[in-house]
Structure 1
Amino acid sequence: MADAGSPDRPPLTADLTGDELLRWYWLKDELIGLARRLGVRTSGSKETLTLRLAAALDGEPFAEPDRARPTTAAQLSGRLTADTVIPKGQRCSQAVRAWFVEQVGESFGFDGELRAFFANTDGTQTLRDALDHYVAGRNRGSTEIGEQFEYNRFTRAWRTEHPDGSREDLLAAWYDYRRRPVDERGRI
């Protein structure tokens, strides 16, 4: 059901312009379907796929983002301690996870902030530094949710405004939000 001031979302076809594609919310599965119909590569993040499709719809070239190169650096293994130095290029491996579980319990999970910490180590930080970073993040409360997680951002904002709201009300608000073009709904 559309509001008088809110146009209905157009069908996702090759007749759209890139700007019109970017104006609306689409599920990644919908975008993959259009990409297949257009013969456009379907891999990558939803954001990359959307930009690739917008370029294809406008007949423009698309510069693929640089792919992360796998690290060949030595990775931590064996018995780890708080004083273990984190080598540059260390992944969030099972060995590192096991050490964190020993320190904080089974509820441990790598979050975006801790993954970023490991991605940015320069070979001088220790696991103690990583643990301090993780604990500090837990004490700060809510962390920012990346733009690519629009549903999660919407849900958090809606729950803040409607703490006693039902799941059904949340979903109805979400469907209303996502059916509107970007310029009419504002960003969460």
Structure 2
Amino acid sequence: MTSSSSERPPLTPELPGPELLRWYWLKEELTQFARTLGIRTTGSKQILTQRIAAYLDGRIFTEPTVARPAPSTQLSGTLTGDMMIPVGQRCSQVVRGWFLEQLGPSFRFDKAMRGFFARTDGTQTLADALDHWYATRNMQQQEPAAQFEYNRFAQSWYKLHPNGSRQELLAAWRAYRNQPIDKRGRA
């Protein structure tokens, strides 16, 4: 199989790793393929893709190490603004609920808020987190991380087609993802 193919190949054990990497695959497709190959199916879509590509090329795949934070106390119960945020606090449903009470249904744990919680050192309060929310609302919207390829595509597509419908977006997405990576344009 050559890398100049303009049609998405089937997932078979004969597929070369570089050709696998040229195409968009759903995680469920990759998971099923990994099962048929008898290799691990866990991890992110990116890790799974790299693991399969290494297997197809006969290379050893070195699993990434995941640093697990030390167990910590998590906020629970009735929260108040003066509560200290413990180191390692997750963006949990309890914390989300408190923010929804304070800010209303538009609240989301966006990149800025996830970053705030990731950087807490045990001296910040929920009121500090609320202040951070307000301070970061006027920041320019950042492009979603690479693993959120559909979100990145949709954001870009809507900038170019502000009056476009969801159906038009989905049709454009299908056309985009059916192209090999090296032949794709942006939305």
Q: Secondary structure at the match of 1:138?
A: coil
Alpha-carbon shift at residue 78 of structure 1 (Å): 4.3
Give, in angstroms, the shift of residue 185 of structure 1. Answer: 0.8
Rounded Cα–Cα distance in structure 2 between residues aligned with 1:79 and 1:165: 43
Alpha-carbon offset, residue 51 of structure 1: 0.6
Contact 1:91–1:118 (8 Å) recurs in 2: yes
Cross-structure match for 1:39: 38
Q: Residues 35-184 of structure 1: matches in 2 within 5 Å?
A: 35-69=34-68, 71-140=70-139, 142-184=141-183
Amino acid at match of 2:73: A
Question: Comparing 125-134 with 149-158, which one deviates more in the overlay?
Answer: 125-134
TM-score, L = length of structure 2:
0.86
Letter in 2 for 1:125: Q
Residues 82-103 of structure 1 show CA distances to partners (whole Å, capped at 9, x for unaligned) of: 3322121112234323332232
- CA 1:142 to 1:88, structure 2 compared with 1: closer, same or farther past 3 Å? same
Q: Which letter maps to 2:125?
A: T
Cα distance between partner residues in 2 of 1:93 and 1:172: 35
Distance 1:77 1:57 in 2: 46
Q: How far 1:141 moved relative to its partner?
A: 5.1
TM-score for the superposition, normalised by structure 1: 0.85
1:170 maps to a residue whose letter is: L
Cα offset, 1:79, TM superposition: 4.6
- Give the deviation of 1:142 after TM superposition: 2.6
Report what 2:20 is aligned to: 21
Amino acid at match of 1:51: Q
Which runs of no fewer than 5 residues in structure 1 stay unpaired? none
Q: Secondary structure at the match of 2:136?
A: helix
- 1:139 is paired with a residue whose SS is coil
**How far does the alpha carbon of each residue in 1:116-163 deviate from its partner, in whole angstroms, 9 at most, with x for none?**
221221122222221122223333253321111111111111111112
Tell me the residue number matched to 1:11: 10
Give the RMSD, CA atoms, in angstroms: 2.2
Kindly tell me: are residues 150 and 38 of structure 1, through their superposed partners in 2, closer, same or farther at Cα, counting changes over 3 Å?
same
The answer (yes or no) to whether the contact 2:8–2:23 under 8 Å persists in 1 is yes
Shift of 1:66: 1.9
Contact map agreement 2:77 2:94 (CA 8 A) in 1: yes
Q: State the alpha-carbon separation in 1 of the partners of residues 80 and 167 from structure 2.
A: 47
Q: 1:168 to 1:84 in 2, by over 3 A?
A: closer
TM superposition shift of 1:6: 7.0
What letter is aligned with 2:56?
L
165-174 or 175-184, which deviates more: 165-174
Kept in 1, the 8 Å contact 2:87–2:121? The answer is yes
Distance 1:175 1:79 in 2: 45
Distance 1:167 1:75, change over 3 A: closer
